[in-house]
Structure 1
């Protein structure tokens, strides 16, 4: 594996995958429209600014890089409440444009695809633990776009003219942290997920709100599987390097789902306690009802990733919190310097 196309490679997860690829000597060819991603994350790299559904641009990329071995599709709109408010936008951006991308990949003979899927598609289970065979029940337009894209990808591998196409869908749980060398991280200083809101509350001295306190968990708050973004990125590299072992060319079943998490569940209240311990301060914590599209959550069974990819998480919540805090401090200073140059 020498060269990989990565869509959304200037975003939080995509840029983490880019650096993990570079660290393995693999050249990423990055496609990102920079609507959410940051130009700083792709400086000095092979980068094309544009839309994943831009057929002319995709043709140009493959003309200039005919040696692309695989594609990693990370580009997507991901904010759950926003998807509830603007469902058509999410279906168009996430599903419609993916179809155009897949058509281009097939035309150019790109037969290996790693897809960024989501644990948000799982149905609640009695113990919140899910494996790849657990029932699915997407409860927001965002989650439904991920489920639809999985269905599209699976059908694509079975369709006429797609006899060589193979797909590994990595179902992400909840990424936290930043690149450990602080080369990239969350580009938004005020993200909508729980750890981002904790950092915002700590930084600004504002309350942190637990949204949903009556879930059927050990303390009433939602449960999540918080996986360090570097571990998540390394799972992509493992999927690429072992792709032909996971799905051999000519295999009858050319679509495979793999969970990528830690294997442990952490409630929101437990995340708060871990964060307070990390920063040595107590937060002002409030309670509220769940937001539109919120679910109880789940955590991963990761046996498949261990067996097929030889991958397992190596970093815990404490490291994720520490890296996220270090990144935010560095990123905030960098943004201030760009606004107010000396």
Structure 2
């Protein structure tokens, strides 16, 4: 079996590609390398280019007619950047995504797995959300995900393509074999900022301390990226089981999280336990586009994908630290 992974040279896409290889599935990677890394494509069939390049997508399918499904991980994902550059985010995440979908449909591929985000939810009083929770995206990034999901649902209703939207919570960790990991020089998420603070000797900034959570800091559901990758393998294997070509349903949404909420302060404590030393911290104001957060409350992934997370927050911290210790030997951060 072959699958096309758009954005397959990025953090999550490259990890999914590794999981595919380990599972006997051949990944075909398409990436424009704006944030992805060429090093992450080594030993994998790779096409450099944009998802909106119809001629290139046609060529991929012409040269790999065995492609049975597409995994779409191609997107810009930094929330503060989306606030500063909304036009860029709507262009890359929505306009180009719709163009790519058209190219996929034109080439006769009828299965799409979309990398979506739990940031589109409006959390309730307990911050737990399931797939039926109301949507209330608070940043341009989150709104691009919600808008593109609306387009996917409408387009899939024609029967031209069947779509599974996997709504990720907060990925941490790295490929356990350290083939790939977080590639950006200055990560914007909490764990990356903690590692950056430890390396620089500066205190870690807890951004937002007046949220209505148990300790005032934001709450997230930190899911290991390898668990996310395994969920994609299950979605590929079981796609026709829960979205059969002969059935009436053409669109499905599945949350991917651990079911456990972890506040930023609790993540800081877990980081200290894994690293073996406390990390100094200071309080800071909320960042543009920030929200209190949410965590997963759902059995749908278990029911439809036969998937459960296997790795803990501490495992994610440990694997992230291991990756950061060797990533400069894998990628050139000066690029």
Segments of structure 2 that go 5 or more residues without pairing to the other structure are none
Listed one character per residue, the Cα deviations across residues 108-167 of structure 1 (whole Å, up to 9, x for unaligned) are: 1100000000000000210000000000001000000000010010001113xxx24100
What SS does the corresponding residue of 1:192 show, helix, strand or coil? coil
Shift of 1:41: 0.6
Q: Which residue of 2 aligns with 1:290?
A: 286
Give the alignment of 1:121-270 within 5 angstroms: 121-159=120-158, 163-270=159-266
What SS does the corresponding residue of 1:17 show, helix, strand or coil? helix
- Displaced runs of 4+ in structure 1, greater than 2 A? 332-336
Asked if the contact 1:117/1:146 (under 8 Å) is kept, the reply is yes
Shift of 1:253: 2.1
Asked if the contact 2:118/2:167 (under 8 Å) is kept, the reply is yes
1:299 to 295, 298, 311: 295
Deviates more, 1:276-285 or 1:20-29: 276-285
TM-score (structure 1 length as normaliser): 0.96
What SS does the corresponding residue of 2:39 show, helix, strand or coil? helix
Shift of 1:251: 2.0
Asked if the contact 1:166/1:254 (under 8 Å) is kept, the reply is yes
What SS does the corresponding residue of 1:69 show, helix, strand or coil? strand
What SS does the corresponding residue of 2:67 show, helix, strand or coil? coil
Asked if the contact 1:182/1:327 (under 8 Å) is kept, the reply is yes
Between the aligned partners of 1:118 and 1:177, the Cα distance in structure 2 is 17
Asked if the contact 1:8/1:37 (under 8 Å) is kept, the reply is yes
Between the aligned partners of 1:180 and 1:232, the Cα distance in structure 2 is 13
- The 3 A distance-change label for structure 1 pair 245 and 334 is closer
1:272 to 268, 274, 277: 268
1:313 and 2:274 correspond: no
Between the aligned partners of 1:194 and 1:34, the Cα distance in structure 2 is 24
Between the aligned partners of 1:246 and 1:272, the Cα distance in structure 2 is 39
Number of equivalenced pairs:
334
Between the aligned partners of 2:330 and 2:89, the Cα distance in structure 1 is 31
CA RMSD of aligned residues (A): 1.1
Deviates more, 1:327-336 or 1:235-244: 327-336
Segments of structure 1 that go 5 or more residues without pairing to the other structure are none
